[in-house]
A and B are shown apart, each in its own frame.
Chain A
Amino acid sequence: DAMVIQNPRYQVTQFGKPVTLSCSQTLNHNVMYWYQQKSSQAPKLLFHYYDKDFNNEADTPDNFQSRRPNTSFCFLDIRSPGLGDAAMYLCATSRGGDLREQYFGPGTRLTVT
């Protein structure tokens, strides 16, 4: 089945220690998104790639970076995680254009100790 895969599902990192979360997709979608979701809140868009074009949301901290080496993979790098970065991180994809729906991965829950 075509899908969006996130690894790992649970990640524990130390305060200030860089961490990378990974997302892959078999849908061949143009657009990939990263969201941060804190407990009992709506997902908050951090950034997205439309093909190779990177689009950062205005309020995304510089601590968050992303890489998309090819169509299938997208990475979220947190350079110096703080306690406030503990959250669920959701990756999503969409075909792009024509107002198409997003397909979400299962998420990675990040704990910062």
Chain B
Amino acid sequence: AQSVTQLDSHVSVSEGTPVLLRCNYSSSYSPSLFWYVQHPNKGLQLLLKYTSAATLVKGINGFEAEFKKSETSFHLTKPSAHMSDAAEYFCVVSGGVGRGYQKVTFGTGTKLQVIP
């Protein structure tokens, strides 16, 4: 069994200030973890992924996330928010056994607002 909890449904930051979007997970497997971003009326774009290599993962657009097994967390951060970062962000856990299909579980999403 696996689950994902995004602790904040909405986050509001001022442009130029740090961003923190929180994600906790549980999984019976050794999971892979992903962050996706979705701009209004668009598909989802992969920001970054953790797949059991380095625990600090760098992604696109200056985002990074740290996998902390002891805390079962995978929080997304960015040092300085830009107006174009305003979007919805989904934390996703993927894991499983068998033929290769990995069960994918989405968090409920965090809407990031960036204030000029």
Chain A residues packing against B (C-beta within 8 Å): 4, 6, 30-31, 33, 40-43, 45, 48, 50, 55, 88, 90, 92, 94, 96-107, 109
Contact = CB atoms under 8 A, between A and B. Distances in A.
Interface residues of B, number: 25
Interface string B47-62: 0010100000000000
**6 shortest A-B CB distances, which residue pairs?**
A97-B100, A99-B32, A104-B43, A42-B106, A104-B44, A106-B43
A9 to B, nearest CB: 9
Contacts, number: 62
B115 interface: no
Contact of A106 (B42, B51, B99): B42
B13 to A, nearest CB: 20
A96 B108 contact: no
Contact of B101 (A6, A42, A50, A107): A50
